[in-house]
Amino acid sequence: MRDWIEDNLLGKVEKPLRYQGNEMNAVHKDWDSTTLRMVFAFPDVYEIGMSHLGLSILYHQANEEPDCLMERVFAPWVDMEGMMRENNIPLFSLESCRPVKDFHGMAFTLQYEMSYSNILNMLDLAGIPLRWWERSDDDPLIFMGGPCAYNPEPLADFADVILIGEGEEMNLEFYQVWADHLRAHGGKMNKKELLDEVVNIPGVYVPRFYDVTYDEAGRVTAVTPNHPDAPRTIVKRFLKHMDNAFFPEKPIVPYLDVIHDRAMLEVQRGCTRGCRFCQAGMLYRPVREKTVGELEEQARNILCNTGHNDLSLTSLSTSDYTSVDILLRSLIAEMAPRNISVSLPSLRVDNFSMNLANEMQKLKKTGLTFAPEAGTQRLRDVINKGVLEANLESVARMAFSSGWSKIKLYFMMGLPTETDEDLDGIAALAYKVIQIGDEIRRENGGKGPSPQVTVSVSGFVPKPFTPFEFEPQVRGEELRRRQRYLRDKIKHKRVTYHYHDSQVSYIEAIFAKGDRRLGQVLYRAWEKGCKFDGWGEYFYMDWWMEAFEECGLDPEFYAYRQIPYDEVLPWDHISCGVRKDYLIREHQKAMRAETTIDCRTGQCHACGACQDLDVKLDLKGGWLRVNTNAVPQD
Amino acid sequence: MSHLDLMHTWERVIRRSQLPLGFSQGFNPHPKMNFASACAVGTTSDGEYMDIELTRDMPLEEVKEALDRAMPPAFEVTQMKVVEGKVPSLMSIMERASYRLRLEFVDDVTQQQLDAAMEEFFKREEITVFRYKKNSKDKKPVNIRPGVFEIRMEAEGKYAVLHILVQTGNDFNVRPEEVAYGLMSAGMPAVLNVVRIHRNGLYLLDKKGNLITPLDVV
Ligand code: SF4
């Protein structure tokens, strides 16, 4: 099959390397000598999937098991899909170029809601019936995980199994039960029996084992198990410590330039700053850091095995890592002589030491990015973003004096309680930064490029498991008015204004907080041709609206409704550790514009994560010192 | 693979091999390596040349061993030689490239049809194809005839295998698929698809006009 595809299709598609595999460090295991054969399916193109650290971790972890094999498949781009359909080529894996249908299992990662239509399309391309009740024992088992799996309800019709939590902790257990099942059944699956077995693994969610009831208004009234072993609440699995956790030291090196074309090293997991819009901050509690020694060792091995010339220290907020100074200095000292740069993907205004930025700058010039998220102190307090205007000003001052000339500011629009005054604040902040830049340039005798600011604004999407899960999204017409309002406010020729499309974020909001009935909508939308919804050019709002209409569901019900605290949420039977009553308390504080201090200072707010999951913050550098200037008080 | 992807791949191979690669000075140091000629995306090749500069002398066998260990599955180093002192860039000295192409026709073709087109091709003084201008949608006519030196063709039903020798280098370059288009303008039946392009080698000319490889020179 590979030769035929190379000869007849790849010559005609954009970026043929997307479909060829054979990269350095890709794992090619012997098909016949493994018991459980799975394919990791990333519902987006190769370059995006290969930039994703989670894929790398789970792929290499599975392949280290002697009886497991895991290959990869990505969503073929539209040109390739067209040719595959024309020539009856089913979706095939990268490593062995086998039809995906030949595997025992297909693992989808749910990174963003707008990739759901691609999941359906990939199943169809693979020749696998889309809904679980249409599939036979000979079809692969479809399992899913990742951040969006915490509200997997819109995918309940399509998934056999959803894994809730951190894959490194639970997947091997799941694979072993599955492999034993295969051995006991001569290499075949009896899915009914298999599900009866895996449902007993903590963190495993089998959607069909639950019944959902609704009231006449369409609100969920109860989610009840209909299987004797199905737990009432599925609690996430997670690593108690990151030390000695599996981390791939021989990751795949793509031939094709991918989005993050660098070695990635995860320094910690979790973030407890408690920004109220941030889902990841709630899902991955508590904070667990790796030791400096382990990180140095891993960095050395990864660079030696990949040959990358850039090492990126990743996590939700790397500059919060308690030993970031020590780690960066030691890595830079070791890597600089080999012309390897070290970078942090995101910098925070309030804690980032300019000296470190300068150290990194020595090796590589990149623009500086800050995310104040909101334009006024009041709104920043509502969202609990601990950034003061004074912080931003002093950082901007330091950045310009150290020779940076371009600063990018990220904001969200449509946050709860936002008014036009907050939008004025965005414009004012941008002007302030330019003004600081101009002053410093003048002081330096007008040398160097003129300062430039980019204001990048995205629409706010309320997410489950955040204090804003109860909040409606701002209506589309109103959002567009606010966009125009802000655009008219920003008239400086060195301030660029970018706005991300609001229609996509409407669908995103619906699916983020959706229930099971959205499965039909998704199916209809896919039938109409929806795919690659995250890629502007392939997003067709009309198709989505028609799909809702035809299924008799009201999209506004999902996106634009203020939800009372006592309403049953479609995801209430899933737990990420953080309790609903904590989210309610946080929501109430938000409405009063009261802030909550980071619990890494030693002040626990009893969010539930440490109490219910029996775990503690794991900070290698001790409690955070409270700097009253930088961190708002509780 | 694009030229940029190829360069990055090689930089990583050399970094993995732990060889003492030389870097240019300056703010954005570049590894000191050079390629003979860029291959178009989708073209496979048996004959590529590159030079790399190391910061100290090393025995060739050691360099080869280190590279072999670091090489991704689809790459192979076949031969190496030491170059001392300053040398002209590989790109600037290359003169000929040979390719093998597989063509798919709309209908079955015969050897006679192919031979006739070839004869016609060499009889003409001008064979014009259209080339996109850089960063533009406009096309400009190019006469490729003086840059084509050899054509051999074998018919196989709806397919034909084409062996060609063309000019390459900084002054003038003939792309393999252009020869197929040129043959069509000389009466060859319509090609549906250029199925596969493979570069056999890159060459220089010696004083007598024979093909030699860069390794024969140093
Ligand atoms: S339980 Fe307390 S210490 Fe643990 S994550 Fe929640 S607020 Fe932080």
Q: What is the pLDDT of residues A547-598, one digit of tens each?
A: 999 999 999 999 999 999 999 999 999 999 999 999 999 999 999 999 999 9
Judging contacts by C-beta atoms under 8 Å, the chain A residues touching residue B156 are none
Q: What is the pLDDT of residues A87-115, one digit of tens each?
A: 999 999 999 999 999 999 999 999 999 99
Choose the most confident range, by mean pLDDT, from A171-185, A392-406, A618-632.
A171-185
Q: Which of A7, A26, A253 sits opposite B12 (nearest CB)?
A: A253
Q: How confident is the model at residue A631 (pLDDT cuts 50, 70, 90)?
A: very low
Q: What is the pLDDT of residue B91?
A: 78
Which amino acid, residue A486? L
Report the relative pairing of strands A310-314 and A263-266 from DSSP bridges.
Answer: parallel
If you measure from the C-alpha of residue A604 to the centroid of ligand 1, how many angstroms do you get, rounded to a whole number? 5
Q: ω into residue A286 within 30 of 0, thus cis?
A: yes
Does residue A606 have its Cβ closer than 6 Å to ligand 1? yes
Q: What is the ipTM of this complex?
A: 0.78
B 75-134 residues inside an 8 A Cβ radius of A: 102
β-strand partners of A138: none
Q: What is the pLDDT of residue B40?
A: 74
Instruction: Report the helix count and the strand count for chain A, using DSSP H and E.
Output: 21, 19
CB atoms < 10 A from the CB of A147, how many? 18
Q: What is the pLDDT of residue A346?
A: 62
Is it the case that residue A403 has pLDDT exceeding 50?
yes
Is it the case that residue A356 has pLDDT exceeding 70?
no
Q: In chain B, which segments carry CATH 3.30.70.3190?
A: 94-216
Helix (H, G, I), strand (E, B) or coil at A368: strand
Judging contacts by C-beta atoms under 8 Å, the chain B residues touching residue A364 are 28
Q: What is the pLDDT of residue A4?
A: 87
A502-529 b/e (C-beta count within 10 Å ≥ 16 → b): bbbbbbbbbbbbbbbbbbbbbbbbbeee
Kindly tell me the sign of the dihedral angle through the C-alpha atoms of B34, B39, B42, B47. Answer: negative
Helix (H, G, I), strand (E, B) or coil at A208: helix
Q: For ligand 1, atom 2, name the residue with the nearest CA.
A: A604
C-alpha to C-alpha distance for A272 and A287, rounded to whole angstroms = 7
Q: For ligand 1, atom 4, name the residue with the nearest CA.
A: A610
Q: What is the pLDDT of residue B166?
A: 94
Fold adopted by A361-517+553-563? Transcription Regulator spoIIAA (3.30.750)
Does residue A623 have its Cβ closer than 6 Å to ligand 1? no
Angle at A328 between CA A322 and CA A333, to 5 degrees: 150
CB atoms < 10 A from the CB of A390, how many? 11
Q: How confident is the model at residue A351 (pLDDT cuts 50, 70, 90)?
A: low
Is it the case that residue A41 has pLDDT exceeding 90?
yes
Judging contacts by C-beta atoms under 8 Å, the chain A residues touching residue B5 are 17, 255-257
Q: Which of B9, B11, B102 sits opposite A255 (nearest CB)?
A: B9
If you measure from the C-alpha of residue A321 to the centroid of ligand 1, how many angstroms do you get, rounded to a whole number? 17
Please give the helix or strand (H or E) that residue A310 lies within, else none. strand A310-314
What is the overall mean pLDDT for chain A?
92
CATH number of A2-235: 3.40.50.280
Q: How confident is the model at residue A253 (pLDDT cuts 50, 70, 90)?
A: very high
Q: What is the pLDDT of residue B112?
A: 94
Choose the residue to mutate in A269, A272, A581, A603 for probing ligand 1, maximizing ligand atoms within 8 Å of C-beta.
Answer: A272
Helix (H, G, I), strand (E, B) or coil at A556: helix
Q: Among the atoms of ligand 1, which is closest to the Cα of residue A607?
A: 6
Q: What is the pLDDT of residues A267-303, one digit of tens each?
A: 999 999 999 999 999 999 999 999 999 999 999 999 9
**Tokens 């414009």 appear where?**
A427
Mutate to test the interface with B, among A8, A24, A260 (most CBs of B within 10 A): A24
Q: Is B23 on the interface with A (CB under 8 A)?
A: yes
Is it the case that residue A363 has pLDDT exceeding 50?
no
Q: What is the pLDDT of residue A536?
A: 84
Q: Which CATH class is domain B94-216?
A: alpha beta
Is it the case that residue A352 has pLDDT exceeding 60?
no
Which residues have C-beta within 8 Å of that of residue A404, sequence separation ≥ 6?
A: A361, A367, A368
A–B: how many Cβ contacts below 8 A? 63
Higher pLDDT, A537 or A132: A132
**Least Cα separation, residue B46 to chain A (angstroms):** 17
Low-confidence ranges of chain B (pLDDT < 70): 27, 37-38
**Least Cα separation, residue B216 to chain A (angstroms):** 31
Q: In what order do the strands lie in the sheet with A68-74?
A: A68-74, A36-42, A105-109, A141-145, A161-163, A204-205
Judging contacts by C-beta atoms under 8 Å, the chain A residues touching residue B12 are 24, 253, 306-309
**Least Cα separation, residue A333 to chain B (angstroms):** 17
